[in-house]
Structure 1
Protein backbone atom coordinates (compact mmCIF):
# COMPACT_ATOMS: atom_id res chain seq x y z
CA UNK A 1 0.00 0.00 0.00
CA UNK A 2 1.40 3.35 -1.03
CA UNK A 3 1.78 6.10 1.60
CA UNK A 4 2.65 9.66 0.51
CA UNK A 5 6.28 10.24 1.49
CA UNK A 6 5.47 13.26 3.67
CA UNK A 7 2.99 11.16 5.66
CA UNK A 8 5.49 8.50 6.75
CA UNK A 9 5.87 8.05 10.51
CA UNK A 10 9.17 9.13 12.06
CA UNK A 11 10.17 5.50 12.69
CA UNK A 12 9.65 4.36 9.06
CA UNK A 13 12.68 2.42 7.81
CA UNK A 14 14.64 3.82 4.86
CA UNK A 15 16.90 2.55 2.14
CA UNK A 16 18.81 5.30 0.31
CA UNK A 17 20.45 4.72 -3.07
CA UNK A 18 22.80 7.36 -4.46
CA UNK A 19 22.82 7.79 -8.22
CA UNK A 20 26.14 8.12 -10.00
CA UNK A 21 24.92 11.35 -11.58
CA UNK A 22 21.99 13.74 -11.25
CA UNK A 23 18.86 12.52 -12.96
CA UNK A 24 17.51 14.76 -15.69
CA UNK A 25 14.04 16.29 -15.39
CA UNK A 26 12.80 13.88 -18.06
CA UNK A 27 14.27 10.88 -16.20
CA UNK A 28 12.73 12.05 -12.93
CA UNK A 29 9.33 12.42 -14.60
CA UNK A 30 9.62 8.88 -15.91
CA UNK A 31 10.89 7.39 -12.63
CA UNK A 32 8.35 8.96 -10.25
CA UNK A 33 5.34 6.84 -11.36
CA UNK A 34 7.57 3.74 -11.34
CA UNK A 35 8.48 4.47 -7.71
CA UNK A 36 4.84 4.91 -6.73
CA UNK A 37 3.86 1.70 -8.49
CA UNK A 38 6.68 -0.23 -6.80
CA UNK A 39 5.74 1.13 -3.35
CA UNK A 40 2.08 0.24 -4.01
CA UNK A 41 2.92 -3.35 -5.02
CA UNK A 42 5.82 -3.97 -2.58
CA UNK A 43 5.00 -6.87 -0.27
CA UNK A 44 6.49 -9.20 2.31
CA UNK A 45 5.32 -12.82 2.34
CA UNK A 46 2.19 -11.85 0.44
CA UNK A 47 1.28 -8.99 2.77
CA UNK A 48 1.44 -5.49 1.31
CA UNK A 49 3.93 -3.11 2.88
CA UNK A 50 2.91 0.41 3.89
CA UNK A 51 5.61 1.92 1.74
CA UNK A 52 6.68 5.03 -0.08
CA UNK A 53 9.45 6.19 -2.39
CA UNK A 54 10.88 9.49 -3.49
CA UNK A 55 13.71 11.08 -5.40
CA UNK A 56 15.63 13.71 -3.41
CA UNK A 57 18.10 16.29 -4.70
CA UNK A 58 17.76 14.77 -8.20
CA UNK A 59 20.28 12.14 -7.16
CA UNK A 60 18.97 10.00 -4.32
CA UNK A 61 16.36 7.28 -4.51
CA UNK A 62 14.71 6.68 -1.15
CA UNK A 63 12.51 3.67 -0.43
CA UNK A 64 10.63 3.59 2.87
CA UNK A 65 8.44 1.22 4.84
CA UNK A 66 6.35 1.68 7.98
CA UNK A 67 7.88 -1.23 9.91
CA UNK A 68 5.30 -1.03 12.71
CA UNK A 69 2.66 -2.23 10.22
CA UNK A 70 4.59 -4.93 8.35
CA UNK A 71 8.33 -5.51 8.46
CA UNK A 72 10.27 -5.90 5.26
CA UNK A 73 11.59 -9.45 4.97
CA UNK A 74 14.73 -10.60 3.20
CA UNK A 75 12.63 -11.48 0.15
CA UNK A 76 10.96 -8.07 0.04
CA UNK A 77 14.33 -6.33 0.39
CA UNK A 78 15.60 -8.51 -2.46
CA UNK A 79 12.61 -7.31 -4.53
CA UNK A 80 13.56 -3.70 -3.85
CA UNK A 81 17.18 -4.31 -4.88
CA UNK A 82 15.96 -6.00 -8.06
CA UNK A 83 13.72 -2.99 -8.76
CA UNK A 84 16.62 -0.55 -8.29
CA UNK A 85 18.81 -2.67 -10.58
CA UNK A 86 16.09 -2.51 -13.23
CA UNK A 87 16.16 1.28 -12.94
CA UNK A 88 19.94 1.20 -13.36
CA UNK A 89 19.63 -0.66 -16.64
CA UNK A 90 16.72 1.37 -17.93
CA UNK A 91 18.39 4.74 -17.25
CA UNK A 92 22.08 3.78 -17.72
CA UNK A 93 22.97 4.89 -14.21
CA UNK A 94 24.48 3.27 -11.12
CA UNK A 95 22.79 3.25 -7.72
CA UNK A 96 25.22 0.83 -6.06
CA UNK A 97 28.63 2.52 -6.30
CA UNK A 98 29.58 2.91 -2.63
CA UNK A 99 32.98 4.41 -3.54
CA UNK A 100 31.41 7.79 -4.27
CA UNK A 101 30.45 10.11 -1.42
CA UNK A 102 28.08 13.04 -1.89
CA UNK A 103 28.33 16.45 -0.24
CA UNK A 104 26.16 19.55 -0.49
CA UNK A 105 28.36 22.46 -1.55
CA UNK A 106 26.94 25.81 -2.60
CA UNK A 107 23.52 24.26 -3.12
CA UNK A 108 24.81 21.54 -5.45
CA UNK A 109 25.51 17.85 -4.90
CA UNK A 110 29.22 17.19 -5.32
CA UNK A 111 30.52 13.65 -5.53
CA UNK A 112 33.91 12.76 -4.13
CA UNK A 113 35.65 9.46 -4.58
CA UNK A 114 36.36 7.67 -1.31
CA UNK A 115 39.98 7.38 -2.44
CA UNK A 116 40.19 11.20 -2.70
CA UNK A 117 38.57 11.90 0.66
CA UNK A 118 41.75 12.17 2.77
CA UNK A 119 43.40 14.59 0.37
CA UNK A 120 40.23 16.73 0.13
CA UNK A 121 40.07 16.90 3.94
CA UNK A 122 43.79 17.74 4.17
CA UNK A 123 43.34 20.51 1.58
CA UNK A 124 40.41 21.95 3.54
CA UNK A 125 37.96 21.28 0.70
CA UNK A 126 35.89 19.07 3.01
CA UNK A 127 35.53 20.14 6.61
CA UNK A 128 33.67 18.85 9.65
CA UNK A 129 30.77 21.17 8.90
CA UNK A 130 30.55 20.29 5.19
CA UNK A 131 27.12 18.77 4.65
CA UNK A 132 27.27 15.08 3.80
CA UNK A 133 24.52 12.90 2.33
CA UNK A 134 24.84 9.92 4.65
CA UNK A 135 23.13 7.01 2.90
CA UNK A 136 23.28 5.06 6.17
CA UNK A 137 20.40 7.08 7.62
CA UNK A 138 17.88 4.47 8.81
CA UNK A 139 14.63 6.27 9.54
CA UNK A 140 12.37 8.93 8.11
CA UNK A 141 12.79 10.92 11.33
CA UNK A 142 16.59 10.97 10.89
CA UNK A 143 16.18 12.03 7.28
CA UNK A 144 13.92 14.92 8.27
CA UNK A 145 16.06 16.03 11.22
CA UNK A 146 19.57 15.81 9.86
CA UNK A 147 20.00 15.02 6.19
CA UNK A 148 22.32 16.09 4.85
CA UNK A 149 24.29 16.25 8.08
CA UNK A 150 27.70 17.73 8.92
CA UNK A 151 30.40 15.29 7.85
CA UNK A 152 31.90 15.46 11.35
CA UNK A 153 28.62 14.11 12.79
CA UNK A 154 28.65 11.05 10.52
CA UNK A 155 30.83 7.99 10.11
CA UNK A 156 33.29 10.35 8.35
CA UNK A 157 34.23 11.92 11.74
CA UNK A 158 37.34 9.71 11.85
CA UNK A 159 38.81 11.71 8.96
CA UNK A 160 38.90 14.99 10.92
Structure 2
Protein backbone atom coordinates (compact mmCIF):
# COMPACT_ATOMS: atom_id res chain seq x y z
CA UNK A 1 0.00 0.00 0.00
CA UNK A 2 1.26 3.47 -0.90
CA UNK A 3 1.75 5.67 2.18
CA UNK A 4 3.25 9.07 2.82
CA UNK A 5 7.02 8.99 3.33
CA UNK A 6 6.60 10.28 6.90
CA UNK A 7 4.68 7.11 7.81
CA UNK A 8 7.56 4.84 6.81
CA UNK A 9 9.55 3.64 9.87
CA UNK A 10 13.26 4.33 10.27
CA UNK A 11 14.23 0.68 9.79
CA UNK A 12 12.41 0.39 6.46
CA UNK A 13 14.42 -0.91 3.52
CA UNK A 14 15.36 1.52 0.78
CA UNK A 15 16.79 1.35 -2.70
CA UNK A 16 18.37 4.39 -4.29
CA UNK A 17 18.53 4.63 -8.06
CA UNK A 18 20.69 7.52 -9.30
CA UNK A 19 20.06 8.59 -12.86
CA UNK A 20 22.99 9.11 -15.21
CA UNK A 21 21.38 12.39 -16.22
CA UNK A 22 19.04 14.88 -14.68
CA UNK A 23 15.47 14.22 -15.75
CA UNK A 24 13.88 16.99 -17.79
CA UNK A 25 11.07 19.01 -16.22
CA UNK A 26 8.72 17.63 -18.88
CA UNK A 27 9.51 14.05 -17.74
CA UNK A 28 9.19 14.46 -13.98
CA UNK A 29 5.40 14.42 -13.53
CA UNK A 30 5.04 11.37 -15.79
CA UNK A 31 7.84 9.52 -13.99
CA UNK A 32 6.39 10.34 -10.56
CA UNK A 33 2.99 9.06 -11.70
CA UNK A 34 4.62 5.81 -12.88
CA UNK A 35 6.48 5.40 -9.58
CA UNK A 36 3.31 6.04 -7.55
CA UNK A 37 1.37 3.57 -9.73
CA UNK A 38 4.07 0.93 -9.27
CA UNK A 39 4.14 1.38 -5.50
CA UNK A 40 0.34 1.23 -5.33
CA UNK A 41 0.36 -2.07 -7.22
CA UNK A 42 3.49 -3.50 -5.54
CA UNK A 43 2.20 -6.27 -3.25
CA UNK A 44 -1.29 -4.76 -3.55
CA UNK A 45 -2.86 -7.94 -2.18
CA UNK A 46 -1.00 -7.50 1.12
CA UNK A 47 -2.66 -4.96 3.44
CA UNK A 48 0.29 -5.02 5.84
CA UNK A 49 2.80 -3.89 3.20
CA UNK A 50 3.60 -0.17 3.17
CA UNK A 51 5.80 1.58 0.66
CA UNK A 52 6.65 5.07 -0.46
CA UNK A 53 9.13 6.91 -2.63
CA UNK A 54 11.00 10.14 -3.06
CA UNK A 55 12.16 11.69 -6.30
CA UNK A 56 15.00 14.06 -5.45
CA UNK A 57 17.19 16.53 -7.33
CA UNK A 58 15.43 15.47 -10.57
CA UNK A 59 17.89 12.57 -10.50
CA UNK A 60 17.31 10.12 -7.64
CA UNK A 61 14.46 7.62 -7.46
CA UNK A 62 14.28 6.26 -3.93
CA UNK A 63 11.93 3.43 -2.99
CA UNK A 64 11.04 2.77 0.66
CA UNK A 65 9.44 -0.47 1.87
CA UNK A 66 8.29 -1.28 5.39
CA UNK A 67 8.63 -5.02 5.56
CA UNK A 68 8.19 -5.44 9.32
CA UNK A 69 4.74 -7.01 9.01
CA UNK A 70 5.06 -8.09 5.40
CA UNK A 71 8.29 -9.78 4.31
CA UNK A 72 9.69 -8.82 0.93
CA UNK A 73 10.37 -11.89 -1.17
CA UNK A 74 12.88 -12.21 -3.98
CA UNK A 75 9.93 -11.98 -6.34
CA UNK A 76 8.87 -8.65 -4.80
CA UNK A 77 12.38 -7.26 -5.15
CA UNK A 78 12.56 -8.57 -8.72
CA UNK A 79 9.33 -6.69 -9.49
CA UNK A 80 10.88 -3.42 -8.31
CA UNK A 81 14.06 -4.00 -10.33
CA UNK A 82 11.93 -4.85 -13.36
CA UNK A 83 10.09 -1.57 -12.94
CA UNK A 84 13.38 0.35 -12.70
CA UNK A 85 14.69 -1.44 -15.80
CA UNK A 86 11.61 -0.29 -17.74
CA UNK A 87 12.21 3.31 -16.66
CA UNK A 88 15.85 2.98 -17.58
CA UNK A 89 14.98 1.78 -21.06
CA UNK A 90 12.15 4.24 -21.64
CA UNK A 91 14.15 7.31 -20.58
CA UNK A 92 17.51 6.13 -21.91
CA UNK A 93 19.30 6.57 -18.58
CA UNK A 94 21.40 4.39 -16.32
CA UNK A 95 19.68 3.76 -12.97
CA UNK A 96 21.17 0.51 -11.72
CA UNK A 97 24.91 1.22 -11.65
CA UNK A 98 25.48 2.04 -7.99
CA UNK A 99 29.25 2.26 -8.39
CA UNK A 100 28.99 5.55 -10.21
CA UNK A 101 29.42 8.59 -8.02
CA UNK A 102 26.92 11.40 -7.45
CA UNK A 103 28.22 14.52 -5.79
CA UNK A 104 27.37 18.19 -5.33
CA UNK A 105 29.21 20.77 -7.33
CA UNK A 106 27.79 24.12 -6.31
CA UNK A 107 24.03 23.80 -6.55
CA UNK A 108 24.25 21.00 -9.11
CA UNK A 109 24.41 17.24 -8.69
CA UNK A 110 27.03 15.59 -10.87
CA UNK A 111 27.15 11.93 -11.91
CA UNK A 112 30.51 10.41 -12.82
CA UNK A 113 31.95 6.97 -13.36
CA UNK A 114 34.16 5.95 -10.45
CA UNK A 115 37.34 6.16 -12.54
CA UNK A 116 36.47 9.74 -13.57
CA UNK A 117 35.67 10.66 -9.96
CA UNK A 118 39.06 9.31 -8.84
CA UNK A 119 40.70 11.52 -11.46
CA UNK A 120 38.76 14.56 -10.19
CA UNK A 121 40.04 13.80 -6.68
CA UNK A 122 43.59 13.37 -7.92
CA UNK A 123 43.39 16.66 -9.85
CA UNK A 124 41.89 18.37 -6.75
CA UNK A 125 38.75 19.36 -8.71
CA UNK A 126 36.88 17.53 -5.93
CA UNK A 127 38.07 17.56 -2.31
CA UNK A 128 37.45 15.66 0.90
CA UNK A 129 34.87 18.32 1.81
CA UNK A 130 32.79 17.72 -1.34
CA UNK A 131 29.32 16.37 -0.57
CA UNK A 132 28.62 12.98 -2.09
CA UNK A 133 25.48 10.85 -2.09
CA UNK A 134 25.99 7.38 -0.65
CA UNK A 135 23.61 5.33 -2.79
CA UNK A 136 24.58 2.07 -1.08
CA UNK A 137 22.73 2.74 2.18
CA UNK A 138 19.86 0.40 2.96
CA UNK A 139 17.56 1.92 5.59
CA UNK A 140 15.46 5.05 5.92
CA UNK A 141 17.39 6.06 9.04
CA UNK A 142 20.69 5.86 7.17
CA UNK A 143 19.11 7.77 4.30
CA UNK A 144 18.11 10.61 6.60
CA UNK A 145 21.46 10.70 8.40
CA UNK A 146 24.15 9.49 6.03
CA UNK A 147 22.98 9.81 2.44
CA UNK A 148 24.65 13.20 1.97
CA UNK A 149 28.12 13.16 3.49
CA UNK A 150 31.53 14.56 2.71
CA UNK A 151 33.93 12.43 0.72
CA UNK A 152 36.21 12.21 3.78
CA UNK A 153 33.32 10.82 5.88
CA UNK A 154 32.32 8.22 3.29
CA UNK A 155 33.72 4.99 1.94
CA UNK A 156 35.08 7.07 -0.97
CA UNK A 157 37.72 8.48 1.41
CA UNK A 158 40.02 5.63 0.42
CA UNK A 159 40.58 7.51 -2.85
CA UNK A 160 41.79 10.71 -1.18
Q: TM-score, normalised by structure 1?
A: 0.91
Q: Distance in 2 between matches of 1:58 and 1:34?
A: 15
Is the contact made by 1:103 and 1:111 (CA closer than 8 Å) also made in structure 2? yes
The answer for unaligned runs of 5 or more in structure 2 is: none
Structure 1 outlier segments of 4+, above 4 Å: none
1:132 aligned partner: 132
Is the contact made by 1:35 and 1:54 (CA closer than 8 Å) also made in structure 2? no
- Compute the displacement of 1:99 (Å): 4.8
Q: Distance in 1 between matches of 2:155 and 2:130?
A: 13
Match status 1:145 vs 2:145: yes
- Compute the displacement of 1:131 (Å): 0.6
2:57 aligned partner: 57
- Compute the displacement of 1:71 (Å): 2.4
Query: Secondary structure in 2 aligned to 1:43?
Result: coil
Alignment RMSD (CA, Å): 1.7
The answer for unaligned runs of 5 or more in structure 1 is: none
1:104 aligned partner: 104
1:47 aligned partner: 46
Change in Cα spacing, 1:34 to 1:101, as seen in structure 2 (3 Å) is same
Is the contact made by 1:17 and 1:60 (CA closer than 8 Å) also made in structure 2? yes
1:123 aligned partner: 123
